Amino acid sequence: MIGKGGFGNVYRGKLPDGTIVAVKRLKDGNAAGGELQFQTEVEMISLAVHRNLLRLCGFCMTATERLLIYPYMSNGSVASRLKGKPPLNWITRKGIALGAARGLLYLHEQCDPKIIHRDVKAANVLLDDFCEAIVGDFGLAKLLDHRDSHVTTAVRGTVGHIAPEYLSTGQSSEKTDVFGFGILLLELITGQTALEFGKSSNQKGAMLDWVNSLSYSYGTVWFQAYDLIIHESYSYGTGFYSGQEDAPGEEARRACRQGTRKQLRPH
């Protein structure tokens, strides 16, 4: 087993021709409604074909099993690589952010009906052989009719990544994913996942609350949030940062993480 998702576990497998794949085994595959759940997910994934989205290679459905077959991502997830060796440098992290943004944009604007992911986080952004971002795990996503701006349903997602209005109303939209993307940017910048954040003595509370408190004291204090590797690859001495401009990813991070001010988040 190589991972766990909202709908089941993920295993590494090998096809007869030697191709390495990732097999997602859905939970409760033989339960009532399991077939419909499986068919819905297959339909949803088949609509989304983009270089920054995880491609569905095939599926298997029996009386007791529901399996989805994906390409195997050799570099794991962003969450695993943030703490891995070698560490991700700033250029790679910036590329991951851009790739994930392109994948989400495709889901929101080029799929018909549109797809809302609803669980955007570092663990759900995979990395291919070239460390290019591949957005995966559509188990929590819902297809939306292009005529509707939201859907009311049970709140699903990961603690620390759920937009406030989605948590309180159960209504999700593109801006739900934008909020999650803002948290992903913070994870890329700090080198920590939102769930891990707050364990050390100088980081009490949620990641978003802590970073918001830093942003009010602009300048040197903001660099407390940076992962050390960003200091090394994006330093004052390289000429890439003048000290007068926004820090790496700050403008996008500031816009995406608008909490209760949903209307201020970019689309």
Q: Is residue 229 classed exposed, middle or buried when 0-12, 13-18 and 19+ CB atoms within 10 A define those classes?
A: middle
Q: How many helices (H) and strands (E) does the chain have?
A: 8, 11
Residue 20's pLDDT is what?
Answer: 96
Residue 142 annotated as lining a ligand binding site: no
Rounded Cα distance, 186 and 188, in Å: 5
β partners of residue 59? 68
Over residues 222-246, the mean pLDDT reads 49
151 pLDDT higher than 60: no
Domains of the chain with CATH codes: 3-71 (3.30.200.20), 78-264 (1.10.510.10)
Over residues 47-69, the mean pLDDT reads 88
H or E element in which residue 126 lies: strand 125-127
CA-derived radius of gyration, the chain? 19
Over residues 245-254, the mean pLDDT reads 54
Q: For 21, phi and psi rounded to 5 degrees?
A: -135, 165
Question: Could you report the per-residue pLDDT of 190-212, keeping only the tens digit for each?
Answer: 887 776 665 554 554 567 777 66
pLDDT band at residue 186, thresholds of 50, 70 and 90?
Answer: confident
Share of residues in the chain with pLDDT > 70 (%): 62
193 or 173, higher pLDDT:
173
Catalytic site positions: 119
pLDDT band at residue 242, thresholds of 50, 70 and 90?
Answer: very low
List the end-to-end C-alpha distance of the chain, in Å, as a whole number. 36
| Predicted model pTM | 0.76
Which residues 6+ apart lie within 8 Å of 66 measured at CB? 25, 26, 29, 34, 35, 37, 38, 59, 60
Alpha carbon 253 to chain centroid, angstroms: 14
Rounded Cα distance, 137 and 84, in Å: 21
Question: Could you report the per-residue pLDDT of 75-122, keeping only the tens digit for each?
Answer: 999 998 987 878 888 899 999 999 999 999 999 999 887 888 888 999
